[in-house]
A and B are shown apart, each in its own frame.
Chain A
Amino acid sequence: MSSTDFYSYACPAGAPFFGYFGAASAMALANLGAAYGTAKAGAGISGMGVTRPDLVMKALIPVVMAGVVGIYGLIIAVIISTKIRAPVLVSGSYKPQYTIFGGAAHMASGLAGGFSGLAAGIAIGIVGDIGTRALGQQPKLFVGMILILIFAEALGLYGLIVALIFSASPIGSCPE
């Protein structure tokens, strides 16, 4: 370990671990939720589509909403990972550019957005599954099902907003 590097308590070498963990968990968890939503709703649409093929296109809406949850995770992950700066090499010594405060803030940002996406995706999947199957028997259910799906999608949106707020907080600068 070089003794001329400029790491400090405010900017340890391990700080980017937390930042990237946040970015990765945002993407991974939101995608898990989106995958569950797509799969479960897809099973419902397939079951309904056997007897009512004309309603299949309308019934695809839960799948689209689950996909949007995945996009929320993508946005958070990209925004976080572009804020994590690598140490610069200055005449043989490394000067860190990323504070531990940033690591904490970005990890919380990613976890909040990711788990919210997971929750939203699971809710969209369960409601989409039962909703599309019931839609096949009672077309008047369409507006009600869409309303419930919008409330489920809003949970993922809360996570996106909080994640953007946390990732935009100033993280300070490293001592030299």
Chain B
Amino acid sequence: MNAAMVAENFGEACPASAPFFGYMGAAAALIFANLGAAYGTAKSGVGICSMGVMHPGLIMKSIIPVVMAGVIGIYGFIIAVVVGTKIKEPVGGGSQAVTPQYTLFSAFGHLGSGLTGGLSGLAAGMAIGIVGDAGVRATAQQPKLFVGMILILIFAEALGLYGLIVALIMSSSGGGSCPSA
């Protein structure tokens, strides 16, 4: 804009601000999935600790909701790494012309991908937490409830998996390449 002598090939298709949207998508995937996983871990952990006072033998079986909540965090981690490694920096600089490598189309795709996976993980984690809390407390009083609780937790986990699948599909849609001078 001022005294820079080399050309810059930013344009409408590949503005300099495109990486913001892509990286915000990647960060959002991890942030929201981790918030959901933390809610699931905390809420079901409260149920396990409360139940474990009177039924210490059931503690190890009851850790399953906590493990499933942790898997939600891994879903967010996967999306964040997959999206984040697709964001390429501009080439050039110094005495060479600066040419971007990252289209705005790809950036919006990655933003949508991250929000999808992250918020789905948040939803799944909250469901796992509430079901895990009530489920482990009830299983302590009625052991026949164990299989039913696991079935419900699997359905809740599937929501996070849907988010992961859609996020991976959205992040792999090609965005084309940037025009160079």
Contacts and interface: CB of A to CB of B under 8 A. Distances in A.
Contacts of A123: 38-39, 41-42, 45
Contacts of A109: 27
Contact of A126 (B42, B87, B92): B42
Interface string A156-176: 001101100110011111111
Interface string B66-81: 1101100110110011
Contacts of B67: 151
Contact of A171 (B22, B31, B89, B97): B89
Query: Taking chain B's interface residues, is the majority helix, strand, or loop, or is none over half, making it mixed?
Result: helix
Nearest to A112: B27
Most buried by A among B31, B35, B67: B31
Contacts of A7: 1-2, 4
Q: Which size class do A's interface residues fall under?
A: 35 or more
Interface of B: 1-6, 8, 10, 16-17, 19-20, 22-24, 26-27, 30-31, 34-35, 37-39, 41-43, 45-46, 48-50, 52-54, 56, 59-60, 62-63, 66-67, 69-70, 73-74, 76-77, 80-81, 84-85, 87, 89-98
Interface of A: 2-10, 12, 18, 93, 99-101, 104-105, 107-109, 111-112, 115-116, 119-120, 122-123, 126-127, 130-131, 133-135, 137-138, 140-141, 143-145, 147-148, 151-152, 154-155, 158-159, 161-162, 165-166, 169-176
